[in-house]
């Protein structure tokens, strides 16, 4: 579905991604794990068109998308939920969700998808006319995910969805990620909580200082001593 080959990305003179290659197959949940600053968020931003690779290519459904404008990539079926939620604070929940569908013209389909978002996140329906900035952190995360789903993505990029949330809410968010995947959306997940990410993923890549250093199934990675010590709290 998506393949990246030898991706190099720079911030000014600093190289953030160094020859990264990986792939995602349709229907999978793939996770990127690694320490802060390893380059995981940079990779998501490069896929979604917020950053341009200096070298290498990103192929999505057989077509190159590396360096294309973000809105073109959304139209092709990739949605990005950035780190830190980034909802439009002065707009209502409903307006935020409608913005997610700004490239769509199918009114009936938009209404159906909004109902699907409310099925996944009933709390958003309860807060429909409330300003997004007044929601709790967990509700804002739900809104950011709901807004991304309104674009009807085939591939959903999730950057640190559990960040700053209470443990109970984190469980809810991860259960919903599995539901979104079961309904047919492929997911690329960046997550600091490696144990949690590996518990729902089909495959995982370990990113260190801009390079992929390990990849495999969750079982393979959780049995690796190196991964255990660095990312799984040593057990």
pLDDT 10s digits, 75-86: 888 999 988 778
Torsion, Cα 111 112 113 116, to 10 degrees, reads 120
In a domain, 63, yes or no: yes
The pLDDT tens digits for 184-224 are 999 999 988 888 899 999 999 999 889 998 899 998 888 88
Residue 47 lies in a domain: yes
3-state secondary structure 219-231: HHHHCCHHHHHHH
Q: What 3-state DSSP class applies to 26?
A: coil
> Does residue 117 fall inside a structural domain?
no
Note whether residue 155 is domain-resident. no
So what's the pLDDT on residue 16? 92
CA neighbor of 99 nearest in space, from 37, 146, 160:
146
Q: What is the CATH number of the domain that holds 20?
A: 3.40.50.300
Please report how many Cα atoms fall inside a 13 Å half-sphere around the Cα of residue 89, on the Cβ side.
7
As a whole number, mean pLDDT of residues 92-96 equals 92
Number of domains in the chain: 1
Q: Which residues of 218-228 are buried (b: 16+ CB within 10 A; e: fewer)?
A: beebbeeeebe
d(CA 177, CA 31): 12
Is residue 216 a part of any domain in this protein?
yes
Residues paired with residue 158 on neighbouring β-strands, in sequence order: 81, 189
Report the pLDDT value the prediction gives residue 178, as an integer from 0 to 100. 93
Range of the domain at 235: 1-77+188-235
R_g of the chain computed on alpha carbons: 17
Q: Which residue has the tokens 């967990």?
A: 138
Q: Would residue 132 count as lying in a domain?
A: no
Burial of 36 (0-12, 13-18, 19+ CB in 10 A): exposed
Residue 220 included in any domain: yes
Confidence of residue 234 (pLDDT cuts 50, 70, 90): low
**171 within some domain:** no
Q: What does the mean pLDDT of the chain come to?
A: 89
């Amino acid at each position: 579905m998506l393949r990246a080959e030898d991706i190099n990305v720079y911030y000014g003179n600093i190289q953030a991604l160094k020859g990264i290659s990986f792939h995602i197959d349709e229907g999978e949940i793939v996770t990127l794990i690694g320490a802060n600053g390893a380059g995981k968020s940079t990779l998501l931003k490069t896929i979604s068109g917020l950053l341009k690779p200096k070298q290498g290519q990103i192929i999505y459904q057989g077509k190159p998308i590396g360096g294309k404008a973000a809105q073109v990539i959304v139209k092709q079926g990739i949605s990005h939920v950035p780190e830190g939620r980034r909802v439009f604070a002065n707009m209502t929940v409903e307006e935020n969700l409608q913005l997610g569908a700004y490239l769509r013209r199918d009114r009936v389909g938009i209404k159906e998808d909004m109902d699907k978002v409310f099925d996944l996140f009933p709390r958003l329906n309860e807060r429909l006319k409330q300003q997004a900035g007044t929601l709790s952190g967990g509700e804002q995360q739900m809104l950011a995910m709901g807004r991304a789903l309104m674009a009807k993505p085939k591939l959903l990029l999730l950057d640190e969805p559990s960040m700053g949330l209470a443990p109970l809410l984190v469980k809810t968010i991860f259960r919903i990620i599995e539901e979104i995947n079961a309904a047919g959306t492929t997911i690329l997940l960046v997550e600091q909580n490696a144990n949690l990410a590996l518990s729902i993923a089909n495959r995982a890549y370990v990113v260190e200082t801009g390079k992929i250093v390990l990849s495999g199934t969750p079982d393979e990675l959780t049995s690796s001593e190196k991964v255990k010590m660095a990312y799984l709290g040593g057990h």
